[in-house]
Chains A and B, each alone.
Chain A
Amino acid sequence: MSVLLSARGLRLAFGGVKAADGIDLDVHEGEFLAIIGPNGAGKTTFINMATGYLKPQGGSIAFRGRPILGLPPRRLVGMGIGRSFQLPQLFAEHTVLQNVAIAIASRDGIWSAVAPLMRGPVRREAGEWLERFGLSSVAETRADALNEGARKLADIAMAVALRPALVLMDEPTSGVAAADKMAIVETLVRVLRDAGVTAVFVEHDMDVVARFADRVAVWSQGRIAALGPPETVLADPEVRRNVIGTVLDGVAHAAA
């Protein structure tokens, strides 16, 4: 499998806190890579650096062999890197269908002020994406009136509708009711596989990780503490004690 995204020695500190302290990571084409680790370990920082929102203070990062360090998000989107957000970034006053349609129009050229957005192929394609994501019933709902699970999915649908080669998802299932979680991830994985998208996702639910990830990277204090297939990494006693324990603690605290 060829390497899609390649990070070497990424470093970034906020004040004295090292959010990235020498991150080396290769993301292979077609894989689903899960990132786990306690809060504050630098997981979101990695996504922010890989998508051009934050510029690392050191190291290099390449996409399909081309260096992308310092390029803005806009350029990286054009190269095929999409992302979704921990806090969904939707256009609150637009409907879900319009949100996805804006994404499609962005991909195909937003610079038209003549033909209506919500007509013809764009509208049809937006409807198809919503169907795939199981969002058809809320197509005409304003984004600010959605429940958290639907907001998350709509946010991801916008990223995937850009037809990226790689999508980075920041906690795609946080805030989703536990009962719906597996079904949502199932949907998500099916859509991504169908679209042939490589995915990196931050996840706190070890069941989700064990079931859907091809590889797991364990983040700890700005470093990758372990990397490998889920069955070995999640079984590692060191990881279980130091990372998963704290993760579960964190979840318990959040729930309390």
Chain B
Amino acid sequence: MSGARTLAAGLAAALLVVALAWAVPWLRFVLTVATAKGIAVLGILLLLRAGQVSFGHAMYLAIAAYTAAFLAPRIPDAALLLPVAVGLSAAVGLVVGLFVMRYRDIFFGMLNLALSMVFYSLLEKLYSITHGTDGIRLPPLTFAGATLSVEAQSWAVLLSALVLALVAGAAVRVYWSSPLGEALAGIKTREQRLDFLGVPPRLVLLAAYVISAALAGIGGFILAMATRQVTPALAYWTTSGELVFIAVLGGAGSVFGAFLGAAAYELTRVYAAAFVADAWQMILGSVLLLVILFAPGGIWGIGQRLLGRRAAGPGAAATAGEGGP
């Protein structure tokens, strides 16, 4: 898809979300959460592009969320608080990134997991600062100076989430086709060649890692605003696993897939939580297995195949005709 058409499709999708949230009020919260997670999943997609998977990105989600909760009393405006929270996520991403960049594959994934587990236990154990598993309640924020009612606030959070999602999605797509983005994809297939082209692969990956931490931070910030309560569960490995799950479910390699996957995931969860609370992870795991084994392109891939088949129908016939005797 060309840039303009993609942007139009993105805008249309955002409008659809707004319409749905207006028509079905209880969907507003679900869609906000899905959008937030979709943005964080974009970060996972960046790393997947380099063939790497992080089982610890919930840490960056939680860093931004906790920053928001800690600083909200002092910086009560969302527009000011967002850059601070996301900046802190990115800064921690830079420091951690300098260390984990030396590793690939399982080491990369598990080191991220280990560090996020450390962060999680700190959140849980340092009760005097973090209130442990109870977490911290976020006071209502102002939006660009305006104090809003509870109802208006939830709309404001959803709309900011959508705007951020559009901006982040567009930025990721631009990044993907840029020299740096193509070099990132090169890490997956032939990292060593980059060295012989004069490019340090670790720095290429580090750049992506910092951006992915920032994207997770944006997601975490929105989640904090939407739920108004931050708890250590945000940093737990299951949250990290969720992000990876959504990335694969939606279709690794597609910006729309990230949000489609997030929406599908959150909607299913609303129902599943009621019926199969104890077997929730089991269902997720089974779906993940099935997707990897039978539909590696995820939801987006399936959709594209269906659409592609219809669109390619006459075209394919024409080509075959040309090639025939």
Contact = CB atoms under 8 A, between A and B. Distances in A.
In the complex, are there CB atoms of A and B closer than 8 Å? yes
Interface of A: 51, 72-74, 77-78, 82-83, 89-94, 98, 101-103, 105-107, 109-118, 122, 158-159, 162
A138 to B, nearest CB: 17
Given A110-B204, A113-B179, A162-B198, 11 more contacts: A77-B196, A89-B190, A93-B189, A94-B182, A98-B182, A102-B182, A103-B197, A111-B179, A116-B177, A117-B179, A118-B177
Nearest to A93: B189
B194 interface: yes
B183 interface: yes
Contacts of A72: 195
8 contacts: A74-B196, A89-B196, A91-B186, A93-B185, A102-B183, A112-B179, A113-B179, A118-B177
Interface of B: 174-175, 177-183, 185-186, 188-190, 192-200, 204, 207
Nearest to B178: A113
Contacts of B185: 91, 93-94
A83 to B, nearest CB: 6
Contact of A113 (B180, B188, B197, B199): B180
Contacts of B200: 74
B193 A91 contact: yes
A125 B186 CA distance: 20
Contact of A112 (B180, B197, B198): B180
Nearest to B197: A106
A118 B180 CA distance: 12
A118 B181 CA distance: 12
B180 A110 contact: yes
A98 B198 CA distance: 17
Contacts of A89: 190, 192-193, 196
A90 B193 contact: yes
Contact of B207 (A113, A117, A122, A159): A113
Which are the 9 A-B pairs with shortest beta-carbon distances? A77-B198, A105-B179, A106-B197, A89-B193, A92-B189, A116-B177, A113-B180, A91-B186, A113-B178
Contacts of B174: 113-114, 116
A162 B197 contact: yes
A92 B198 contact: no
Given A91-B189, A113-B207, A73 B178 contact: no
B194 A111 contact: no
Of A82, A93, A106, chain B has the most CB atoms within 10 Å of the CB of A106
Given A51-B196, A106-B198, A116-B177, A93 B182 contact: no
Nearest to A116: B177
A93 B175 CA distance: 17
Contacts of B181: 113, 117
A105 B182 contact: yes
B109 to A, nearest CB: 21
A221 B179 CA distance: 43
